[in-house]
Structure 1
Amino acid sequence: MSGLLLRLAGPLQSWGERSAFTTVRDTASFPTRSGLIGMLAAAEGIGRDHGGLDRYDDLRFIIRADRPGQRLIDYHTVGGGQPKARTAATSGGSNKGAAVITRRHYLSDAVFVVGITTPDDETTTRLAQALEHPHWAPYLGRRSCVPDEPLILRRHIADPENELLTRVPLALPPPPRNGEDTIDVDFLYEQLPDDTTGKTDVIDIADIPLSFAQHRRAHAVRRLHRVTRQLPRRLTGPQSELQSRLLDYVRTEESA
């Protein structure tokens, strides 16, 4: 077993959950499996119509929600006020010179750290190399959502979950001193950990990608477990020092 860690942060993220070519383009409150696999497939140069998504079936994702972000809705128009030939077509295949209106949902100022467990070192190396030298640039759910650096925090780790629980810096300021040396942080698991003792919610979401083909997109349902875990206070720090703490963490691997 092997794994790597990704940090998904940026001004905007959008992880579509239910909408596809509709006037309301929603977002889940966390990175979806479909979005994460889409990022990896794009980095490896696998096109939408290529298929072959079963190569990612053995990947397991753990998501730590450092900052859930604020939901933002963009009132968006395409076309309008132009001759028919220069106006966007409607879903019915025609247009009348009117604008196509959409409402696009985003997560603003969100930060997630994702642990990816792979079946072997070869798979980990392949994915890490693709993300470092991507065929198509990674984005956070939509092409307009560019990720911050560093994107890759760890390239080869035996236990991604333990890193998330004990070592990866949190994108949070230190909480007020109340006698506690821990801070509550939400995790999303595909399999409920055996040592779970805190608050737990169950989420059913249709985000297992079966096809990314433009007109034949298909997804299956999976069950997630949202668990509130207590992390060491020492993982927090002033926001002005966050980038330095992250780079120090990355350099620790590079010098090992």
Structure 2
Amino acid sequence: MSTTAFLLHLSGPMQSWGERSRFNERDTSTAPTRSGLIGLISSALGRARDRPIGELAALGFTVRIDRPGRLLRDFHTVGGGMPRSLTVITAEGKRRSSDKATLISDRYYLADAAFTVAVTAPDAGLLDECAAALRDPVWPPYLGRRSCPPTAPLLLTTITGDPLEQLIKLPLARVKPNGETESVRVEFRSDAPLEHPEWPHLPAADQIYTEIQDDPVSFLPHHRRYQTRPVYRRHEQLPADQCGGYGTDYIDRLIEHLGPAPSPGSAPS
């Protein structure tokens, strides 16, 4: 059977998925953005920023928020203490004076967050190509910013069944809550309405709906362009026993659920 999707695990000490970053304030979305995910895959493929988005525009993403993390603010300075010949250039092409050389910015990150992402596309060949690149990336991957490396390999598995079904059943990268809690509340986000036979029917009009401008048109450094896309969000209860913990505990649960990793060149699971 042809590949219908592949699953990614995104976790690290810090992540930052800029959504509206401008000038001296660099924000982060509370979940991976479409531009960030396509950029991540482009980097794995070894595509330069001046390459067209091309067929990657057909990729679809459904994000499961395993751990939302905590918002972290970094008070950041650039250029202080440098000789004037090395200070930041102004809009007029001049150098800043020493008393105005230091530029201040606020940069925001998600600390200790974890996400599982189902990546889909109409073209199974494209999915296989992207999955192979994520398994052996051309350039080192990072989670939104170069200062945010992942803590584990990104690619979990390729699948041939229903991507949402696989995403729902996969172990959660979080610790099971104390007590006799039978379920945990988990948020899903997608650019298409979210429906599953085991979930209560919720018409698209009643799902949490927003629009964000994170659909990339061009990654050109001096001519980046994005267009608006819809985001559907819904919260569902998943079994508390599905919580796989952290670190090696989570890896062990993944191996138990997915089975051992296929050998190179073997058919996808």
Asked if Structure 1 and Structure 2 have the same fold, meaning a TM-score greater than 0.5 normalized by the shorter chain, the answer is yes
1 CA distance for matches of 2:121 and 2:12?
25
Cα 1:158/1:123, change in 2 over 3 Å? farther
Q: TM-score, normalised by structure 1?
A: 0.90
Equivalent of residue 218 in structure 1, options 216, 220, 225: 225
2 CA distance for matches of 1:247 and 1:151?
15
Q: Deviations over 1:184-222 (max 9, x none)?
A: 100002111244647842221100000111111110011
Q: Which amino acid aligns with 2:71?
A: R
2 CA distance for matches of 1:125 and 1:19?
32
Check the 8 A contact 1:124/1:156 in 2, yes or no.
no
Query: Can you give the 5+ residue segments of structure 1 that lack an aligned partner in the other structure?
Result: none
Equivalent of residue 242 in structure 1, options 250, 256, 263: 250
Note the C-alpha offset of 1:249: 3.9
**Map of 1:71 onto structure 2:** 71
**Map of 2:21 onto structure 1:** 19
Percent identity of paired positions between Structure 1 and Structure 2: 40
Q: Which amino acid aligns with 1:173?
A: V
**Map of 2:150 onto structure 1:** 147
Is 1:170 the equivalent of 2:172?
yes
Which one is further off, 7-16 or 130-139?
130-139
Q: How does 1:79-98 map to 2 (within 5 A)?
A: 79-90=79-90, 93-94=93-94, 95-97=96-98, 98=101
Q: Which amino acid aligns with 2:79?
A: G
Which one is further off, 106-115 or 87-96?
87-96
Q: How does 1:99-114 map to 2 (within 5 A)?
A: 99-114=102-117
2 CA distance for matches of 1:130 and 1:150?
12
Q: TM-score, normalised by structure 2?
A: 0.86
**Map of 1:60 onto structure 2:** 60
What is the number of residues matched between the two proteins? 252
1 CA distance for matches of 2:97 and 2:163?
53
2 CA distance for matches of 1:246 and 1:75?
37
2 CA distance for matches of 1:251 and 1:82?
55
SS of the residue corresponding to residue 47 of structure 1 reads: coil
2 CA distance for matches of 1:250 and 1:96?
59
2 CA distance for matches of 1:67 and 1:32?
16
Query: Can you give the 5+ residue segments of structure 2 that lack an aligned partner in the other structure?
Result: 264-268
SS of the residue corresponding to residue 126 of structure 1 reads: helix
1 CA distance for matches of 2:91 and 2:233?
37
Q: Deviations over 1:112-163 (max 9, x none)?
A: 0000012132112100111122121111000110012131111233222111
Note the C-alpha offset of 1:96: 2.1
SS of the residue corresponding to residue 217 of structure 2 reads: strand
**Map of 2:45 onto structure 1:** 44
Q: Structure 1 segments of 4 or more deviating over 6 A?
A: none
1 CA distance for matches of 2:25 and 2:240?
39
**Map of 1:135 onto structure 2:** 138
1 CA distance for matches of 2:212 and 2:116?
20
Check the 8 A contact 2:172/2:245 in 1, yes or no.
no
Cα 1:114/1:91, change in 2 over 3 Å? farther
Check the 8 A contact 1:17/1:26 in 2, yes or no.
yes
Check the 8 A contact 1:121/1:156 in 2, yes or no.
no
**Map of 2:266 onto structure 1:** none
Cα 1:250/1:149, change in 2 over 3 Å? farther
Cα 1:189/1:123, change in 2 over 3 Å? same
